[in-house]
């Protein structure tokens, strides 16, 4: 297993490209697949709440990783980054499962709140696609202890990933009355 991981890390640019195309492509493809017809099981209806919870944990882990590295505690920083990637991976699996089975929920608000919601939603969607390669490049450069390269990547990755994880929770809060 260690040789497999080392091979992936050694070829990080190719790995990042492949993972980005697969992840963003899969999520985009879900927009074109018709939803499951019939009554959804209760566990599927609970997935948006799970997604918001996982996004909340990702946000917290990222903040703690940031505080840890500012205090020069590299080991703790790494552990929180691993935790953030873990919750993000579970989020992605849950998100794909839900959107494969369920129809997207339409926001029912009007007026100013609708404008705020759609601004948050659109920026969230765009930056969620952008964050995939940024997070992966940041991870690989950090894992290989290429600090100057890592710092260049995380300068953009950290604030954008924090924004994406926080707005994911906000979107859930705003749209949850319409589920």
Contact of 36 with 101, CB cutoff 8 Å? yes
Calpha distance 131→20 (Å, rounded): 9
How confident is the model at residue 2, as a pLDDT? Answer: 57
Q: Among 53-57, 91-95, 138-142, which range has the highest average pLDDT?
A: 53-57
Contact 80, 134 (CB under 8 A): no
Per-residue burial over 25-42, b if 16 or more Cβ lie within 10 Å, else e, is eebeebeeeeeeeeeeee
pLDDT band at 100 (very low <50, low <70, confident <90, very high): confident
Query: Domain coordinates of the chain in residue numbers?
Result: 40-178
Instruction: State the CATH class of domain 40-178.
Output: mainly alpha
pTM, entire model: 0.85
Q: Give residue-wise pLDDT tens across range 101-127.
A: 888 888 999 999 999 999 999 999 999
Q: Is 163 in contact with 42 (CB distance < 8 Å)?
A: no
């Amino acid at each position: 297993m260690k040789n497999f991981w080392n091979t992936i890390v050694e070829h990080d640019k190719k790995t990042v490209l492949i993972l980005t195309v697969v992840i963003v492509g899969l999520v985009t493809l879900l927009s074109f697949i018709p939803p499951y017809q019939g009554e959804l099981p209760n566990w599927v209806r609970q997935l948006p709440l799970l997604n918001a919870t996982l996004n909340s944990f990702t946000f917290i882990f990222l903040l703690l990783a940031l505080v840890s590295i500012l205090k020069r505690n590299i080991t703790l920083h790494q552990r929180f980054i691993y935790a953030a990637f873990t919750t993000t991976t579970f989020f992605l699996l849950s998100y794909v499962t839900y959107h494969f089975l369920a129809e997207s929920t339409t926001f029912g608000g009007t007026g100013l709140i609708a404008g705020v919601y759609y601004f948050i939603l659109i920026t969230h969607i765009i930056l969620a696609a952008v964050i995939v390669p940024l997070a992966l490049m940041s991870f690989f450069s950090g894992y290989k202890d290429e600090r100057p390269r890592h710092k260049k990547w995380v300068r953009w990755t950290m604030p954008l990933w924090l924004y994406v994880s926080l707005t994911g929770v906000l979107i859930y809060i705003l749209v949850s009355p319409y589920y």
